[in-house]
Structure 1
Amino acid sequence: MAHIVDLRSDTVTKPNKLMKHAMVNSAVGDDVYGEDPTVNALESKVATLLGKQAALFLPTATMANLVAVMVHCNKRGSEVLVGSKAHIYKYEQGGASHVAGTLLSTVENKPDGTFDLAEAERRIQGSDIHEPVTTMIAIENTHNVCGGKVVPQDWIDAVGALCKKYSLALHMDGSRLMNASVQSGVPAERIVRDCDSVTLCFSKGLGAPAGAALAGSYHFIQQARRARKMVGGGMRQSGVLAAPALVALEHGLPALALDHKRADRLAQIIHGLFLKNFTVDVAGRHTNIVLVRIPDASALTADVVLQRLAQVSRAETQGDCKTADDEGVIVKGSCFTPKLMRFVTHCDVTDEDLWLAIMKVTYVFKELDAKYPISQ
């Protein structure tokens, strides 16, 4: 028996009692006909929250991003400029190209989640008959691969100005937008002021079991509703999923600050171990994501670390790596690269879970640090 602390992602959360109650008691109708009152209420709430004219409920943020590309880039062969580490580019199976017929062209992401706007401007195409026509720029906030970074607001504003200059659409993958808003203290409406469309995910951070929203102008959402139907996202009595999303918006936002605080505690502890095989950029950690790096000179890999964290040895259960019931502890994380691990705090991680995870991580990291010397 072992107590599992799952820090792979904030998508692993289970719906709480309020969400389950809302699901059972939700008023429903056929959303494809626009007749689900709970969905309509959620879409109205999201539009107001983000300062947009309208919003659309979809099953996932991946579909929401795809639909945004399909609407903004409605001529096949259009080009989208996107960061080299963006979720749209790295983790959505190239759907923008495969389904929407667009070319995803990358601009190298900086560690803070931004990219060079001078380079982006040089990369805008369409004046030459041989070139694809650049139609859209996509940005991400918070930035997942860059460690949950809150992207600087002045940079977002500058991207908006660049898009207006060249009549390009600006889309924000704001799957964890509310984390960015809570951490920065900037209202979500202000963050996305210059964005023509924005995706918001309810199952990341906010703790709902499923669902995302896409917000924009009335005309954009009208076209997005057609695209959603095309890719199979037109659900029927989807109020049962919209209901927990409403609960997440109403009750889940205050908990995000606690998630950030717990992630900071984990990062500080790992940093304070002063181990040669494990480093954390404490100053650069913003929200609920902790990235742990292993030096290139080490023979140790992230897979080995995660496999060890998933094991319970007899020796560790004789110390602090156990629960009050003498259960061992397993910590789950995710591997980004052979030398990079991610741990994500969320609403299902309690203070006790965090303490147990810290004890386990401390034990395993020290054990592996002694086992794997750094090559000189």
Structure 2
Amino acid sequence: MIDFRSDTVTQPTAAMRRAMADAQVGDDVYGDDPSVNRLEAMAAERYGFDSALFTSSGTQANLLALMSHCERGDEYLCGQQAHNYKFEGGGAAVLGSIQPQPLTNQADGSILLADIEAAIKPDDFHFARTRLLSLENTIGGKVLPQSYLAEAQALAFNKRLKIHLDGARIANAAVAQNLDIADITQYFDSVSICLSKGLCAPVGSLLLGDERLINKARRWRKMLGGGMRQAGILAVAGEIALNEQVSRLAVDHENARYLAEQLSSLDEFEVDLGEVQTNMLFARVAEGVAIDKLAESLKASGILISPGKTLRLVTHADIGREDIDLFIDKLKALL
């Protein structure tokens, strides 16, 4: 199948499969898995943190960050479109008794600093205690500028807030700006990095932070059922993801741009090329196009999309130019 639904569908590379078969493992709950320990130590040192924790998913890594920064009755600020607010099952509220305060995301994905400052609650027992600002980069495929991150960090520091980054696609943000991932992580007290999206690992995310935060997160991870035993089989794939797959994301970005250009040539789709910054594009579907039926016909031809009035298409390691050309040709024939 040619799968445009998400970069979560990427298959592990041949090098990952070989490493997984030969991985040195131990019981990670006891701290005995050498492959997990190596991945966590490497990531912490490379991205400028005291410590790191290997988790089963980005949702878990974000939840652990929220529950480790905040206590029951505390509040975190985030965007209306933030993944850890909108797409993670309300975990912070349900499991952490933490109140989210969602704020409007601007067209570029940022949150106005004035809105952040205005949302911070007074020190009054009538209000939840505002403890944390959470940002996301990339968000909707868009990259938050470095200058904005610096200003957000300064605001958080001056208001005595901690600042967390949902960095599920932080590698895409770094590559798009010709930066190192550490150039982005420097602005945050904690960062989650997904290994199983564009970086091709089969499972896992990392949570980075100081020693106190990660120790607390490790305890929460155990409580939430996230203590994986011989997890080194997965960790070695994550190590390869960080070492070998980051620079390759530039190809995904080029393919997304190419796909956007081809799609925008069709009258039935409208794409703002200026918004295609990484591996994700959004196309507005014209009235009268039966997008659900179109998706069914494409599936029968071996092409998967997620239908909607606005069509999100994502490029990744398992999609090449020839796949895009085939997709466009099928679309033209069906339309």
RMSD of aligned alpha carbons: 1.4
Determine helix, strand or coil for the equivalent of 1:167. coil
Contact 1:302 1:340 in 2 (8 A): no
Amino acid across the alignment from 1:306: A
Q: Which amino acid aligns with 2:185?
A: V
Q: CA deviation at 1:356?
A: 1.3
Paired residue type of 1:303: D
Corresponding residue to 1:99 among 95, 99, 111:
95
- Residue 217 of structure 1: aligned partner: 210
Residue 99 of structure 1: SS of its match in structure 2? helix
Q: Which amino acid aligns with 1:18?
A: A
What CA distance in whole angstroms lies between the structure 1 residues aligned with 2:154 and 2:239?
Answer: 33
Secondary structure at the counterpart of residue 47 of structure 1: helix
Q: Of 329, 332, 357, which aligns to 2:327? A: 357
Displacement of 1:117 in angstroms is 1.1
Residue type of the alignment partner of 1:291: F
Offset at residue 139 of structure 1 (A):
0.5
Per-residue displacement from partner, 1:307-338 (whole Å, max 9, x unpaired)?
A: 34324xxxxxxxxxxxxxxxxx3321224xx4
Number of residue pairs matched? 335
Residue 44 of structure 1 aligns to a residue whose secondary structure is: helix
Shift of 1:197: 0.3
1:120 counterpart residue number: 116
Matched, 1:18 2:20: no
Residue aligning to 2:302: 330
1:47 aligns with 2:78: no
CA contact (8 A) 2:169 2:193 kept: yes
Partners of 1:86 and 1:305 in 2: CA distance: 29
Secondary structure at the residue paired with 2:282? strand
Q: What is aligned with 1:88?
A: 84
- Counterpart CA distance in 1 for 2:59 and 2:102 is 18
Q: For residues 162 and 362 of structure 1, what CA distance do their matches in structure 2 show?
A: 50
For structure 1, the 5+ residue unaligned runs are: 312-328, 368-376
Structure 1 segment 21-40 matched on structure 2, within 5 A: 21-40=18-37
State the distance in 1 between where 2:327 and 2:36 align.
38
Q: Is the 8 A contact 2:275 2:281 kept in 1?
A: no
* Structure 2: gaps of 5 or more residues: none
Asked whether the equivalents of residues 301 and 339 of structure 1 are also in contact (C-alpha less than 8 Å), the reply is: no
> Greater shift after overlay, 154-163 or 55-64?
154-163
Q: If the length of structure 2 is used for normalisation, what is the TM-score? A: 0.96
Cα shift readout 1:3-52 (whole Å, capped 9, x = no counterpart): x2111111111212111110010111111111111001111121123211
Q: Secondary structure of the equivalent of 1:119?
A: helix
Q: Is 2:133 the partner of 1:163?
A: no
Amino acid corresponding to residue 87 of structure 1 in structure 2: H
Larger Rg: 1
Matched, 1:309 2:298: yes
Q: TM-score, normalised by structure 1?
A: 0.86
Alignment match of 1:134 (pick from 110, 130, 143): 130
SS of corresponding position for 1:164: helix
For the residues of structure 1 that align with 2:76 and 2:146, how far apart are their CA atoms? 21
Residue 78 of structure 1 corresponds to which residue in structure 2? 74
Distance 2:173 2:20 in 1: 27
Alpha-carbon offset, residue 354 of structure 1: 2.4
The answer to whether the 8 A contact 1:24-1:240 is kept is: yes
